[in-house]
Amino acid sequence: MTGSRSLLLACFLSFIAINSNAQHSATQSVVSLTPAIVEAGSPELIVISTPNAKSISGDWLGRKLEFFQRGQKWVALAGVDVEGAAGPSTLQISAQLDNGRPLDLSQTIEIHPAHYRTGTLTVPPKFVEPGPEEQKVIAADAELKTRVFASSAADPLWRGNFRAPVLAQPTDSFGTRRMFNGKLASIHKGMDFRAAMGTVVRASNSGVIVLARPLYYEGNCVIIDHGLGLYTVSMHFSRIDVYEGQRVATGDKLGLSGATGRVTGPHLHWAVRWEGAYLDPAKLLRLNLNEIR
């Protein structure tokens, strides 16, 4: 009888210890977002500090979060699309601990509206109302881009901070509602740089070239896969100096800026895309990632 009581007591103490460890892990776990104020179009560095985690998975705004480990920290580079709705959202995060127990780290994130202006541009009529032949080219381009964005590297290819792709003055054009020839055509989903014809364009971070060819609207276009669904897109080159499948490092020459595609003059359009969401490039450039990669 004494042996049975001892066994029951041991089981009870073990149960208490397991639950105590789980609660301790929960209290020690910290989820941080940078920038802390989340706006539509904002890239977000999500860092989870949690001991004894074997894996982390998550979902935000219908997009899968891909975490990678650095010591006891788990990191994801994500964001909110420029057209994302303001209001509360659920950041779903689940950790699998070394002892096999799950740990829910989900929280509510308030998304604040970003205030963008309206711009008016005049371009050749074929870029506003393309004819049947142009429509075929546009459709083929759309299929190509869908294939390109469908498969990203399974590991982060970027290292450290992202850098501006050209030595030229940027504009605040991201998020601008674009009126082409008097008609609302789109929301501007990139940053424009006032790059004169022939300005050298460089890789903003390391990755793999997944597209390097002319497109209808984009003109001569270069897309870099930085891994885990993150891409940078550079448009309107006068000359492309890289090829698809090529690995590039931060600062490598991609080509020369120009005025190809739907443009009003020479410049570089540079966009940041994560899992289909277009993010503000200026905010990505301000993120301190040097301690992460």
Tens digits of pLDDT across the chain (293 residues):
445 554 444 444 444 444 444 444 444 669 999 999 999 999 999 999 988 889 999 999 999 999 999 888 999 999 999 888 999 999 999 999 988 899 999 999 999 988 766 555 555 666 666 788 988 999 999 999 999 999 999 999 999 999 999 999 998 778 777 555 555 456 778 999 999 999 999 999 999 999 999 999 999 999 999 999 999 999 999 999 999 999 999 999 999 999 999 888 999 999 999 999 999 999 999 999 998 86
Is the fold of 28-112 the same as that of 125-286?
A: no
Positive or negative, the CA dihedral 81, 227, 174, 44 is positive
Q: What count of residues does the chain have?
A: 293
Distance CA 264, CA 21 (A): 62
Q: Considering the entire predicted model, what is its pTM?
A: 0.85
* Residue ranges of domains in the chain: 28-112, 125-286
Closest CA relative to residue 43, chosen from 201, 216, 278: 278
Contact 80, 88 (CB under 8 A): no
Distance CA 123, CA 82 (A): 24
Distance CA 113, CA 22 (A): 37
Distance CA 33, CA 268 (A): 30
Which string of DSSP letters, residue by residue, matches 205-257?
A: S-EEEEEEEEETTTEEEEEEEEETTEEEEEEEEEEE---TT-EE-TT-EEEEE
Contact 33, 105 (CB under 8 A): no
Adjacent-strand bridge partners of 35: none
Closest CA relative to residue 82, chosen from 215, 3, 190: 190
The set of residues, in sequence order, having a beta carbon less than 8 Å from that of 31 and lying 6+ positions away, is 46, 47, 48, 91, 93, 105, 107
Task: Give residue 51's pLDDT.
Answer: 81
Cα–Cα–Cα angle for 233, 263, 240, nearest 5°?
Answer: 45
Distance CA 120, CA 1 (A): 88
CATH class of 125-286: mainly beta
Adjacent-strand bridge partners of 95: 56, 103
Determine the CATH number of domain 28-112.
2.60.40.10
